[in-house]
Structure 1
Amino acid sequence: MHVLLVEDDELIRHSFATNLERYGYTVTDAADGLEGLELFRAADPDEPFDLLLLDVMLPALDGIGLCRRVRETSHVPILMMSARGDGLDVVSGLEAGADDYVVKPVETGVLLARIRSVLRRASWNPAPSTTYPAPPTDDVLTFGDLSVDTSGMTVTLADRPIALTPTELKLMLEFAARPEAIIDRHTLLRDVWDHGWDADTRVVDLAVQRLRKKIGHDRIETVRGFGYKFRR
Structure 2
Amino acid sequence: MKRLTLIAMATATALTVAGCANDPNRNTKLGAGIGAVVGGVLGHQVDGDKGRYIGAAVGAIAGGAAGNYMDRQRRELEKQLAEEAKRNELQIIKLSDGSIKIGIASDVSFDTGSATLKPEALTTFNKIATVLQDYESTVIHVVGHTDTTGSAQTNQSLSERRAASVGSVLTGQGVLAARIRQEGRGERELLVPTADNVKEARNRRVDIVLKPIIEGNENAAYTPPPNLGGV
- What is the TM-score when the length of structure 1 is the normalising length? 0.29
1 or 2 for the larger relative contact order (CA 8 Å, sep ≥6)? 2
Could you say which structure has the higher strand fraction?
1
Could you say which structure has the higher helix fraction?
2
- What is the TM-score when the length of structure 2 is the normalising length? 0.29
